[in-house]
Amino acid sequence: MTNQTKLTIGVFDSGFGGLTVLRALLPLIPASHYIYLGDTARLPYGSKSRETIARYAVESAKFLHAQGADLLVIACNTATALALPDLQQALPIPVIGVIQPGAEAALAASSPSSRTLVLATAATVQSHAYAEALTALGLHATEKACPLLVPLVEEGWTNHPVTDEVLKIYLNEALAAAPNAETLLLGCTHYPLLEPAIRRTLANLNHPLTIIDSADATARATAKAVRRHFPNAAAAAQPTCTFYATDSVEKFQRLGSAFLGHPLGEVHLLDLGG
Ligand code: DGL
């Protein structure tokens, strides 16, 4: 990037859940070009080993860097939890994850020493990245793996009786393990798409909780990094976006447009190998 030119921000997720982070970034850092990559062909990351997640995430991140990204946002909790140090080591640009901003958002919404219930993929839960980040901030954490939620979101079933039933089972189990939880942290970038269904299910279980997601907090952390690393970036311009998916561009376009509230435009098909 040269002085006063538009900053290019790479945004990466295993699917289109990371659009929740892109949606928060657009109004906060409008004078940027965004390159979004959803590694849909290799999703879900959340049921894979640390080595595989790190390899996929580093390959995806290197692609975004090669496309001109000046800074990278890992809009995927699983990739952040399992591979943030690998990504920061592999790339010569600032790399921002979602876990620390998510934990800080939980802190801001919680009373001191209270318990946060974290819903996340199996890999994120096994890494205990959230428990560590929340404990370091003086909070207690109970983590619950919800492996069926990502496929339901990727199917577009965000408002569907099957999803409601699955949520009821997961939330009942989670609340039995953490009856005194005060906040519910959505530890997967796909889950904000289920927020109305989660809210509805909690109301039916007569157990309302404050729901937190890391998208806004991650966007704020990114804005701070932009000010620090790129003080001369252009301040006024409309955002522009380029989208890549590694599978089914039509589905990405359809579900992603509905979610962002405007057409995504062309989605490029990308082959990152197996
Ligand atoms: N978006 C990923 C996350 O935030 C989950 C999707 C997956 O399992 O690949 O954890």
pLDDT at 259 over 80: no
Longest CA–CA separation in the chain, Å: 55
Q: Tokens 């928060």 correspond to what residue? A: 24
pLDDT at 263 over 70: yes
Tell me which residues have their CB closer than 6 angstroms to ligand 1.
13-15, 17, 43-46, 76-78, 121, 124, 150, 188-190
Give catalytic residue positions: 76, 188
Task: Phi first, then psi: give them for residue 63, nearest 5 degrees.
Answer: -60, -45
15 alpha carbon – ligand 1 mean position (Å)? 7
Whether residue 117 contacts residue 174, with contact meaning beta carbons closer than 8 Å, is answered with yes
Ligand 1 atom with the shortest distance to the CA of 98: 4
* Per-residue pLDDT band at 172 (split at 50, 70, 90): very high
Whether residue 183 contacts residue 114, with contact meaning beta carbons closer than 8 Å, is answered with yes
* Per-residue pLDDT band at 3 (split at 50, 70, 90): very low
pLDDT at 78 over 90: yes
User: Quick one: the chain helix, strand, coil %, rounded to 5?
Assistant: 45, 20, 35
80 alpha carbon – ligand 1 mean position (Å)? 10
